[in-house]
Amino acid sequence: MIDHDRLLTRAFPPVEQVYDHRDSILYALGLGIGSDPLDPAALRVTYERAPDFAALPTMVVVLGSSGFWAMEPDTGITWQQLLHGEQAITLHAPLPPAGRLTGRTRITGIVDKGPGRGALIYSERSLTDTATGRLIATIEVTSFARADGGFGGPAGPVKTPQATPERAPDAVYEHATLPQSALIYRLSGDPNPLHADPGVARGAGFDRPILHGLCSYGVAGWSILQATGGGGDPARLTALSARFSSPVFPGETLRTEIWRQGPGGEGAEDYAFRTRVPARDVTVLSHGRARLAVPPRRTEPGRPTEGSAR
């Protein structure tokens, strides 16, 4: 059973991680980027000799992580029933394509939804440059502990999700994942056999391995960058949040629908989005929100050859 005070004050040792251009490229390839060898936007994140080579901002989700700490017996969490509910990132500075970062994790809130209704666990990870201490990113995770409600903890506060507009989207971008996407993406730091072993997948109720939710999340970030101009510059994306609604199977095409919400602060615009699998008529990422720096007026958007935008 969860001990609210003990879990809320749980100490996590800092995690230092060194990564290089190979890791940045591998992450991009895991998202299925690079199917068109002539696409300059794709080469920017998959070829280290590109003049403007950059890391994708969503890669912060796989850096400096404390791992699957919910499995530790001192947490009181029934980890077999734990779901990744929501993910959010805030970039305070562009992610370098290579470097040494330190991740520091803490639990920021625990909500008891009641017996039979589970619990929400909010955690946060800061990523700083190890040498300078400069804050690069803040990563927030909402986990749903389905079997752990009723421990006598507080019933709130609960985060309010981003509303999805009812009007037609302002832009749409489709991105085809690869049949081997999960096998590639897992090399970036999530070796869960659910994404590779057919037997494990069947035991979990799927007829084949599923794609990592964070891979779909990265695809959404890439799609928003491609559909909103600015030449697909990765540094434009400064915030991204979404709720995981349904699993994706490797090889499926993801359709991200995007709505402009207006100014998001000085030099930035806010967008709402959701990501769907049209072939199954299912939403896989919902209640999405993104913040992007406004591109220079005369910058032409990159060719969306990894998918299609309108």
Total residues belonging to the chain: 310
Contact 192, 282 (CB under 8 A): no
**Which residue in 39, 148, 175, 195 is the catalytic one?**
195
282-293 β-sheet, strand order: 15-19, 99-112, 119-129, 135-145, 82-91, 237-244, 282-293, 268-277, 253-263, 171-176, 307-309
Q: Catalytic annotation on 195?
A: yes
Evaluated on CA atoms 205, 31, 259, 137, the torsion sign reads: positive
**Which residue in 23, 39, 190, 233 is the catalytic one?**
190
Q: Catalytic annotation on 190?
A: yes
Neighbours of 278 (CB within 10 A): 11
The answer for residues whose C-beta is within 8 angstroms of residue 298's C-beta and 6 or more apart is none
Positions marked catalytic: 190, 195
